[in-house]
Structure 1
Amino acid sequence: MSAVAMLARQRLASPSLLSAYQLQCRQHALAARRIAAATQQARHYAKPVKKAKGKEKEKAQDETPQAHAHGKKGSKGVSTDSLVPASQRIAASPEYKGAESKMQGVLDWFRKEVAALETRATGRVTPMLLSPVRVKLPDSPDGRGVRLEEIATVGVKEGTTLIVTVFEEHTLKYVEQAIYEAKLPGITPQKVDNRTIKIPIPKPTVETRNALYTTASRQAEDVRVQMRKLHQALLKKVDVEKKSPDMATYQALSDKFMGELDKILAHLKKATS
């Protein structure tokens, strides 16, 4: 009998040996199953993890400021325009900014004119007193004329007299006419020679200060008319309804400049009283 046959007979004959052999086989089978399960688990999670990273990367790119700046939105993106207050959207519009800039320009002009009138009301003699004068020359392209300092020099003599010296003799008569047409209270030009005009400035009286305030009031009314026209033009461009909530924003723009205008006029009244 061969050794293999004898060994097999002994295994069959010994239950303990048979059990040990079966236990060893079961252990090998269990280890093989665990290895297979681990391999399948690794393969199962490898693909979803990579895909999830790709989605997170795309989501991060969609949420970057650069993506929003170029108008890129995610699948669930929400426009931020709805989060901006209506008043801010209106103030940022080109129509609103254009009207605001024009109103500011009109107000700045009035403030400058009032400053010159206030200087005269206090009795100070400066070349600024003639700043409202506009000289209309035959070859002037602007219908309003040119400023006096563009064609002449203005100086002060002895603190009480303005001396106007034109650059060219033929413009003297136009300068003299422009000073009369400016209708500045208490100012009367006197020709000295072919290039010079002197203007004595008397000390301001109560009547003179009242006349200065009257002049400013007349200019203020003209400014109000201009601002109303600008406001009406703005409303036509934006086509807003009277009872619309946006109407309050446009009305506040006009009220703001009207209020500043009243403050400037009130300050002059105090200075001339």
Structure 2
Amino acid sequence: MKGKSTSTSSLVPGSEQPLSGEDLKEYTAADSKMQTAVDWFRKECATYEGRGLGRVTPALLQPVRVDVPGGRDTVPLTDVAIVGVREGTTLIVTALQDSHLSSIEKAIYAAKIPHIVPQREDARTIKIPVPRPTVEARNELVKAASKQAEGTRVQLRRQEQSSVKKRKCEKGSMQMKQFHDLLLKHLKEVDNIVENLRKRLAGK
């Protein structure tokens, strides 16, 4: 009696088989870390877009870190001041303590945020008129985002290399291919974020 032939149509190539065990665990962890890096970059670009479109929000001062007298480390501006918006065009920074105003003013300058120039209004308040961005200013924002994009790409590549090394993936193996495909997926996300920002600001 002849043996029953086995169809090969349902077989999955080795390079396409799903990961399992420790490989899957590392893949999931790498995916999460890469996504965190991409999400952080997306948030940064949302801030750039807001500035490029002329939206005045407290988020413009997010990079500011204040060196409080007597403190060991710098702290976020929102730890020592209340940030608001007046008439949609001016940021208002109100220090929680009068003694912190000088440190806050220095910190805003030190952050080197384009077109952000603090002006003292009284003993506890700083106002910052925010000019509507010019074409040149929008182009600078896109350049800054592109520079940060490259930094994010470096983070993603390092994560892939770390995972491949940790799992001791052999060159050309199924594991290496899937980690590389994961990298490409997240690199594509970064590229799309930059391109969408460029389109949004170029049309204004």
Residue correspondence of structure 1 range 126-145 to structure 2 within 5 A: 126-137=57-68, 145=74
Higher relative contact order (CA 8 A, sep 6+): 2
Letter in 2 for 1:192: E
Are 1:249 and 2:181 matched, yes or no? no
- Separation in 1, partners of 2:189, 2:113: 24
Question: Which structure would you say has the larger Rg?
Answer: 1
What TM-score do the two structures reach when normalised by structure 2? Answer: 0.82
The corresponding residue for 1:236 is 165
Q: What's the secondary structure of 2:107's corresponding residue?
A: helix
Are 1:115 and 2:46 matched, yes or no? yes
Higher mean C-alpha displacement, 131-140 vs 111-120? 131-140
Unmatched segments (≥5 aa) in structure 1? 1-84
Instruction: List per-residue Cα deviations over 1:56-104 (Å, max 9, x = no partner).
Output: xxxxxxxxxxxxxxxxxxxxxxxxxxxxx73242797322222222111
RMSD: 2.1
Residue correspondence of structure 1 range 13-24 to structure 2 within 5 A: none
- Separation in 1, partners of 2:69, 2:162: 34
Are 1:259 and 2:180 matched, yes or no? no
Are 1:169 and 2:106 matched, yes or no? no
- Separation in 2, partners of 1:117, 1:184: 11
Deviation, 1:203, is 0.9
Aligned residue-pair number? 187
Are 1:212 and 2:141 matched, yes or no? yes
Unmatched segments (≥5 aa) in structure 2? 1-15
- Separation in 2, partners of 1:107, 1:138: 35
Change (3 A) 1:138 1:233: farther
Are 1:152 and 2:81 matched, yes or no? yes
Letter in 2 for 1:86: Q
| Structure number having the greater helix percentage | 1
Are 1:100 and 2:31 matched, yes or no? yes
- Separation in 1, partners of 2:113, 2:134: 14
Change (3 A) 1:251 1:136: farther
Change (3 A) 1:218 1:176: farther
Q: What's the secondary structure of 1:149's corresponding residue?
A: helix
Does the CA contact (< 8 Å) of 1:189 and 1:197 recur in 2? Answer: yes
Deviation, 1:192, is 2.3
Does the CA contact (< 8 Å) of 2:23 and 2:175 recur in 1? Answer: no
Q: What's the secondary structure of 1:93's corresponding residue?
A: helix
Deviation, 1:233, is 1.1
Residue correspondence of structure 1 range 44-59 to structure 2 within 5 A: none
Does the CA contact (< 8 Å) of 1:126 and 1:156 recur in 2? Answer: yes
Change (3 A) 1:91 1:100: farther
Structure 1 ranges of 4+ moved more than 6 A: none
Deviation, 1:141, is 5.9
Deviation, 1:139, is 5.6
Are 1:186 and 2:115 matched, yes or no? yes
- Separation in 2, partners of 1:230, 1:134: 28
- Separation in 2, partners of 1:243, 1:182: 46
- Separation in 2, partners of 1:140, 1:253: 42
